[in-house]
Amino acid sequence: MKFELKVARGLQTQSLVMEASDMLQARLQAEAQGYSVLALKAQGVLKAGTRRRQRFNLMLFSQELLSLLDSGLSLVEAIEALAEKEASAESKILLTQLLAALYEGLPLSSALERFPQTFPALYVALIRSSERTGDMVAALARHVTYQGQLDVVRKKIITSSIYPVLLIVVGGLVMLFLLTYVVPRFSTIYESAGNDLPWMSQMLLAWGRLLQERGSEVLLAALSVLGVLGYVLSRPAVRVAAMNQVWKIPALGETMRIYQLARFYRTLGMLLNGGIPLVTAMQMVSSLLQPALRVQLAGVEQQVREGQPLSVAMENGGMTTSISMRMLRVGERTGRMGEMMERIGAFYDEEISRAVDWFTRLLEPLLMVIIGLVIGVVVVLMYMPIFELAGNIQ
């Protein structure tokens, strides 16, 4: 969006208009040009139809920076090259500000910390750890691999959910068409039949008459209910309570728990391989977990601080399965805990993929049967009086 700035350079003041994602970015952009910002305000929001700017692609940035560093360029040269070829104005400004911080003598991790909305704490911690060991290429490669593995699982879940969602949407539209257009017209035809119709047909046709006579009021009531429902579901406490209930569903809750543990083990393994201490890494990944697991992790952390082996603390905290428990013990014996945790994450990812495949193969035919039955019942109830009339004629 655009911001109006009142700036000064020396004894002269002037007004500027700059495009930036937020006020901080606009201020930094003006200061990078040598101005002192006296006042700053938003000029207005994006107009309808204006193309939305793309967010900074952290994965692409990491891949490109890895390639340039691996080819022998220095860090400053690599970021200069990325800034020169960047087509997005917002990303170009961000990279220019990173360069300015590096020119000031700041390490890359400190420069990244200036932009918490773009570079998450886990990423900054991994870069800071690599600065201590002098192996930034390996750290970036580790992050690219880690993010790629998470993206594979996420894409698998999204791809598997497309067809069921499409079935629900199409089935809902067909039902909406029948109940709001077809049924009201049948109710007009059968008005003279009175109470001779079957009870369920009378209820269905009464709904049709209601839509004919008070359609706008029914629509308003439906929109109000949807609005209230959306507001209630947007409350964090309600979402937490709903998720707690979902977690109690035997098969689904266990699958969600495995998904959380897979991400937890992958991230913790990446941080340990990057040289971050175990307790610090556990504190950093805590935010990735569901509240109940977060409480369990706090107990695990406390036991580790008291000197318990990690495998024992994880088992006591309920954050393992029989397979992961054995692998954790192997990691403790061999001293390769980070690598073993990444293997546990990969094992869990395979288990999630199998669960998603099984669930979608079961859900798709089940949805088709349910939608077909509902539509069939509505159609039969509408035509039942005609069937009875034909039977009486015979």
298 and 267 share one domain: yes
> Quick one: 324 and 366 in the same domain?
yes
Per residue in 6-35, pLDDT tens? 777 766 677 777 776 666 667 767 776 777
Q: Same domain for 239 and 336?
A: yes
Measured over the CA atoms of residue 262, residue 263, residue 265 and residue 270, the dihedral's sign is positive
Q: What's the maximum distance between 2 C-alpha atoms anywhere in the chain?
A: 102
Q: Residue 137 sits in a domain of what CATH number? A: 1.20.81.30
Token match 């003279």: residue?
A: 192
312 found inside a domain: yes
Collapsing DSSP states into helix, strand and coil, what is residue 6? strand
Say yes or no: 232 and 206 in one domain.
yes
Query: Is the confidence at residue 47, as pLDDT, over 50?
Result: no
Distance CA 183, CA 228 (A): 28
Number of folded domains in the chain? 3
Give yes or no: residues 278 and 326 share one domain: yes
> b/e map of 324-338 (b: 16 or more CB within 10 Å)?
beebbbebeeeebbb
Tell me the two tokens of residue 57. 């692609």
Output the 3-class SS for 123-185. HHHHHHHHHHHCCHHHHHHHHHHHHHHHHHHHHHHHHHHHHHHHHHHHHHHHHHHHHHHHHHH
The answer on 31 and 108 residing in a single domain is: no
In a domain, 314, yes or no: yes
Q: What residue numbers bound the domain in which 142 lies? A: 58-148
pTM exceeds 0.95:
no
- Closest residue by Cα to residue 327 from 339, 318, 313: 339
pLDDT tens for residues 352-389? Answer: 888 878 887 888 888 888 888 888 887 777 777 666 65
Quick one: 256 and 189 in the same domain?
yes
Same domain, yes or no, for 32 and 96? no
Are 76 and 217 found together in one domain? no
Q: Is the predicted pLDDT of residue 51 greater than 70, yes or no?
A: no
CA 381 to chain centre: 42
Instruction: Give the end-to-end CA distance of the chain in Å, rounded to a whole number.
Output: 74
